[in-house]
Structure formats: C-alpha cells, structure tokens
Structure 1
C-alpha cells in the first residue's frame, strides 16, 4: 500500500491547538477564512513549512527570505515586517506550549476580495496571514523503509508559464502528479523537466548517489528548496562531491542510492524508482551519512538562534 512522506501518527494534542489568523489566536473549530479570500478563490498567495526543534523554527531566516521573495514577485504586501512575523510565530508556539516535534504551515494570501475574480485590484482588505502549528513528525517506519517513486507524465513547467521558484498556493500540477503516482501504487511522483531530464518530486526534492558522488537536478525547474540547499551545503563541508546537473532516468535506474529531501522529514531514502530497486541498500551508507550531517546542521542552526 502506498503512503505519503507527509504521513504522521495522529497526536490527540492537535485537537486543542490555537491557530494564529491576522493577529488573533483561534481554536481549530474557529480558525476559518472568508469564502472571498484570495487564497481560497484563486490560490493567490505564498506559504512556507517550518520544522520546530528545541523551541525554534529551523532555518527560519531562509524560509522568510523565500516567503518575501515570492510575495514581492506577485506584488503581495504581507503587511508585517520579518521581525513582527517572527514574533507572531514564537507567540503561537508559546500559546500552544509547543517545543519539539512540531510542524508549522505559514500561509499568506492576498486577502479578501469584494467579488470572486482574479484581478488583485478587487482585493478590499489586507493580506490574510495564518500560522498553523501541529504536533507532527514523519512516521519513523516510513523514513526507515524508504519511498517508492513513480515517474509521471506531468512535467515541471517553464518559468514563463508558472515559475517553479514561486512557492505559491497554486499546486495543481503537483497534485495531479501525486494522483498519478498514487494510482500507480507509489509514495511520491518523480517529475521530469520539459526536456526530459529529472527535475524533482511532487512534494520533495530528489537526489541520487553514483560512484560516491551526490547528484541532484540543475534546479532550473524546481523550487529553491531549503533542505535541498542545506544538503548540498553539508556535502561541500564534508568533502562529498555534489553536483547540480541534468541527468536522465537511465542514470537514476543504475544509481546505488537515491533519496528525497524536505522540511517535514529531512533526508529520506528511496527504495525503488519505477520498479527498479536501489542496489546500495535502504538506507544506504551515503544516506545514513547525510542524515547525520543534516541533523548536525539543524543543531547548529538551533544553537545559533538560541543565542
């Protein structure tokens, strides 16, 4: 049976969480937005996922930089400074007595419209900002067993159609890719770029290991992933050859190891791609090494933020 890397064991504490919406903390039942909200009507907004470790959102500066970059690209006024939004995140964690094992969905839409139409000029209010924290960890059994991937026909698009660097609420191409992969009995969709090279997965970034080298896509057709860039960083710091380059499915099928990266689960091995098992074991030696290096980088970031 297929499963998602975002699967988690239900935590009863999530029934009583307080959700931050435009400066107010609301219960789960009260946490609603208008049917005229730009995010609901059109998917007009940007978002980030944050992992909380030892009381701190990990790599927060990088996530906020990406959020502001996306907002500027679509001319969306967030309405808060980075310091104010940071404080709101910490206030939300404090209100929920959250310290570890927490995932936050930070969402910003253009705000409420006077009529459900795409033109941003019919927006009548400020941006809608939601900070939704949950007690949520990736299932250890999923991380241990690894993911099964299936290459879908849905491609990553050109930046002049919908720029893949924009972390927008509009995720329909990733959703259709996920649907196809699930129907094929896989856990995650592997997506190609318009030229047929491997690009990314529907909700994570993809890497392979060949001859002691770590490869990932050129990055031209995928989101600028925070965990992706951190894995590249720890490879370089550790002297592991790492390359951002074009490569084909043929090179994926003959790789010793493969893995996916993402904020929610970190570094997760891939056990199979299109029916071809990885020959280096699951998790393989490189994945185990990178999991340890990434964990150490997280600890460094948390320690710096604590100071």
Structure 2
C-alpha cells in the first residue's frame, strides 16, 4: 500500500514507497522514499536524489515526479523541513534559518544515503536550502554526503515572496493558492493545503516565505563548480521564466522551461520535468563513460 492518491500510484507493484524519519539536529525530518523493489541497503550503487520543497509545500507534492523518475533507476527521497507539514518544529527561531535547514537536510541525507553522492533538487525557498547545503559540504564534510552530484533549482525564490515585516499578518492560504496554475485550487487540494498549514509550525512558513538569497550565493555556487540546472514553469506568476533564465546565466547553469506549468512544475507537468532532470543527470553518465582525453588522442 503506497499511501498516496491513486493517480500517484501508477504501477505500484513495480516500486516501493517507504515513510521515513531521518535524524537531524533540530529533530527528525519526516520523509518519503520511492525506489524499485529489491536490494536497497547503504551500499546500493545507484543514483540517489533528494527533493526539498519551499513555503507551503510538502514532500507529497513531489510524488508524481518521483514515480516517474524511479522508472529511470533513481532512488528518490523527499523531505519535510523542520516545522513543515509532518515534521514537528521547536519554538526556537534559529531552527528555521536557511543555514539551519540546510544542515538538517545534509545530516538527514547522510543518514539515509550512507555518504553516497546525491543529486539535490530544491523548489521555491527549498532551492535556497539545497544551494546552501552544497556550500556547507565544503566545510562540514562529516555532515554531508561525500559529494553532491548536481544541484537543480526549480522555480527558485531567490527573492522573498514576502518581506519579514509582512509575515505576521500574512494569510497563507491565498499565498499558497498563487503557486498553483491559474491561482485556483480544487476543493480536494484546498482541503489538503489547509491541513498542511494547520500542522506546520508558523515559524517555518514565516521564515521560508521571507527567505532571500545571500548577496554572495551566486558567486559562491559558481566557485564551487557543481553542475547546475535552473527550471522555470512557463506560466509561473511568482518566478517568471525571464528571471529563471537570468539566474541560470549568472550561475553558469543549464536552463529548462516546463510547458503547461505554473510555480509547481512537479505538480503541473511531472512528465516534462522528469524528462528534463533525466537528460541533465544523464550527461554525467556520458562523461564518466568516455575515456580520458589522453587515451582518446592515443586511440586516434
């Protein structure tokens, strides 16, 4: 039993869905893993992917995407950050800063991935958490996987949707509704969002909604040298495509546009996003299969 809506459980007999609690400094993170049945211990040698949502999001939003990516042989992990959805959170504001969230993510991924390389995918403010985790890995190796294979920023909220002074009076449901294509929610989706907001810690939503990239984040990511992809939804009213394209240019990253998608490409068009991610990650496999340049020269 996969515990997800029927539309997200296609061919459920060909995959395994596991609910997780992953250790982290500010308390265990609730997560979900999707993988093919079979051996899955810490020494499993396949590709691992970690997915992180932002303000108003949750790990379940990634399930349609995860069910598609697992068909390509990946092992997928999605998490609720501290105080988000099913992960409880303390009353300490320090637990909800981007640096603290990034450390939580790194520790959790170290625990479940046994320090194997991980492709990071962050959405909205979760893109800032994922990006910060990449930079932390250089100075906190014991808290991070041995390497991050790549970094993908999906509809990244590089600038905060709200300022810190606005969050106290914010009505979160309309803000989350704006993330959906056309700004409308079905009754079922509205009930889900209300449930999600009700069990989230207010500080989690406030900090993620007011989060903004540090001035030196772009330069630091470029200096790190990690391969990056920036993804925009073709109909995203919050992070328009021209902004994702410009960010990709500054980062020296690949850029991809998901057609028929608003601010939630993984919800609106998971097939197109899965294709973009699979193609991006496959470039590493092509590179690793090529002989060194010296050997190529000798062969010719």
Normalized against structure 2, the TM-score is what? 0.28
Per residue, is there more strand in 1 or in 2? 1
Normalized against structure 1, the TM-score is what? 0.28
